[in-house]
Amino acid sequence: MRLLDRYLLRELLIPFGYCLTGFFIFWVTFDLFSDLGKFQSNKLKGTEVAQYYVVRTPELLMVVLPVALLLALLYALTNLSRHHELTAIRAAGVSIWRMALPYLAFGFLLSVLLFALNELWVPESGQMAEDILNKHITGQTNSPAKDWEKNLGFINTRENRKWFIVAYHVPSASMYRPHVEWTLATGTRYAISSEWAHYQDGHWVFTNVQQQIFPAIKGAFPALNETNVLSMVEFSETPEEIQSEIKVSKINNLREVKKAQLSIQEILNYKSLHAEDSTKNSMLDTKLHGRLAAPWTCLVVVILALPFGAATGRRNVYVGVASSILICFCYFVLNQLGLALGSGGYLPPIVAAWFPLVFFAGTGILLTVRMR
């Protein structure tokens, strides 16, 4: 790494650390005062409150990191411009894009970090925080009933198979009294009912099974078979797909899909079971592209900050603060409008999710190219 790159990164990292820490302290303080009564009524200890905020930190970082990076970049670039350091760098033959290379690399690393958090941690953080909050409430977190999903029914349109399960134990992927129906290409229809089923070695194993076979011949009587154990290797449904079905089936409107913390894999699992067009396809496709696009805001922030912060002239550093507030507000409005239109089916999901990023990145590139 060149000396210039190290210097520019140092000038960025210091204000970035201050901004990130300040935003985090402000959020925790504000949230603590507003929810203090809830913590007291739920009898949480100080260590449990701290654990609650640690669990929710990744969710906060999805919003705070891009804003902190934008504010720090505008501050650093404006400060360098005021002291004519950027003019000296460019006079030495360093282009604006070469000068921005360490900032772009840092933005890319933050985007990768946010992508990993968004996929691996954020989808579970909401439930984990709720479990901590209700830790001492009788009948909530400690109740085994919360691990069971009752009267679960769904259709695997990929293979035209219907499932109905009286009770499904999520942690162990065990089924109580499952009933499955499917029809072969020949027209023969099968139906099995069992007392229990569990997932073992990549397939479902049913116990105390009653199987009915309905021939394709009209008026023919069904054959009835009973067996103690039946392994269905041809059943492709996985516990992960069923768990995604449980989560997505509880989403019924735009507000719920906006609040739902679904990972990319969970959305793909649900869509693999429901290959046909459905009322939830627009919402889920928009949610999918939104989760793919959101982490790359950090990279776009760097591109957008260049023309605003690196413009020549002696300017007050508070201009950077004002610019960041305006940019964040415009991006937030455009992003939320796009996601709402996409979820409602008024825009293609890929356009709804990616247009704000493409628009702001294009604006930043155009303004940077036009800089003197």
The string of DSSP codes covering 89-130 is: HHHTT--HHHHTHHHHHHHHHHHHHHHHHHHHTHHHHHHHHH
pLDDT tier for residue 58 given thresholds of 50, 70 and 90? confident
- The residues with which 142 forms a beta bridge, in sequence order, are none
Q: For residue 189, what are the domain limits?
A: 159-235
- The residues with which 169 forms a beta bridge, in sequence order, are 148, 174
Is residue 47 one of the residues assigned to a domain?
yes
Of the candidate ranges 67-76, 93-102, 171-180, 322-331, the one whose mean pLDDT is the lowest: 322-331
Can you tell me the distance from the alpha carbon of 79 to that of 316, in angstroms, rounded to the nearest whole number? Answer: 8
Is the domain of 163 the same as that of 130? Answer: no
Examine the fold and report which residue of 199, 215, 235 is the final residue of a domain before the chain moves on. 235
Residue 93 is which amino acid?
G
Is the domain of 52 the same as that of 170? Answer: no
Is residue 145 one of the residues assigned to a domain?
no
Of the candidate ranges 68-72, 197-201, 254-258, the one whose mean pLDDT is the lowest: 254-258
pLDDT of residue 337: 87
Mean pLDDT, the chain, as a whole number?
Answer: 84
Contact 345, 282 (CB under 8 A): yes
Is the domain of 107 the same as that of 167? Answer: no
Is the domain of 185 the same as that of 304? Answer: no
pLDDT at 190 over 50: yes
Is residue 79 one of the residues assigned to a domain?
yes
Backbone angles phi, psi at 225, to 5 degrees: -125, 145
Cβ-count burial 101-115 (b if 16+ within 10 Å, e if not): ebbeebbeebbeebb
Q: Give Cα 50 to chain centroid, integer Å.
A: 23
Contact 262, 248 (CB under 8 A): yes
Is the domain of 130 the same as that of 15? Answer: yes
Query: Taking residues 68-88, what's their average pLDDT?
Result: 85
Examine the fold and report which residue of 215, 235, 255 is the final residue of a domain before the chain moves on. 235
Examine the fold and report which residue of 235, 250, 268 is the final residue of a domain before the chain moves on. 235
pLDDT of residue 311: 65
End-to-end distance of the chain based on CA atoms, in angstroms? 27
Is the domain of 29 the same as that of 122? Answer: yes
Is residue 278 one of the residues assigned to a domain?
no
Of the candidate ranges 133-147, 194-208, 289-303, the one whose mean pLDDT is the lowest: 133-147
Contact 100, 302 (CB under 8 A): yes
Is the domain of 100 the same as that of 219? Answer: no
Q: Give the contacts of 207 (CB within 8 A, at least 6 positions apart).
A: 194, 195, 196, 197, 228, 229, 230
Is residue 253 one of the residues assigned to a domain?
no
Highest mean pLDDT among 54-58, 189-193, 273-277, 366-370: 189-193
Short-list 145, 201, 154, 205, CA closest to 175: 205
Is residue 69 one of the residues assigned to a domain?
yes
**Alpha helices (H) in the chain, listed in sequence order:** 3-41, 46-82, 85-91, 96-99, 101-120, 122-133, 239-249, 254-259, 264-273, 281-293, 297-309, 318-343, 349-369
CB atoms within 10 A of CB 289: 22
How many domains does the chain contain in total?
Answer: 2
Is residue 215 one of the residues assigned to a domain?
yes
pLDDT of residue 141: 47
Is the domain of 56 the same as that of 128? Answer: yes
Residue entry with tokens 């001492």: 136
Do strands 189-200 and 203-214 pair parallel, antiparallel, or not at all (unpaired)?
A: antiparallel
CB atoms within 10 A of CB 313: 9
Is the domain of 200 the same as that of 121? Answer: no
Is the domain of 125 the same as that of 50? Answer: yes
Is the domain of 130 the same as that of 164? Answer: no
212-239 pLDDT per residue, tens:
998 877 777 788 889 999 999 989 899 9
299-330 pLDDT per residue, tens:
998 988 888 777 655 555 566 566 667 777 88
pLDDT tier for residue 113 given thresholds of 50, 70 and 90? very high
Contact 225, 204 (CB under 8 A): no
Is the domain of 10 the same as that of 86? Answer: yes
Is residue 223 one of the residues assigned to a domain?
yes
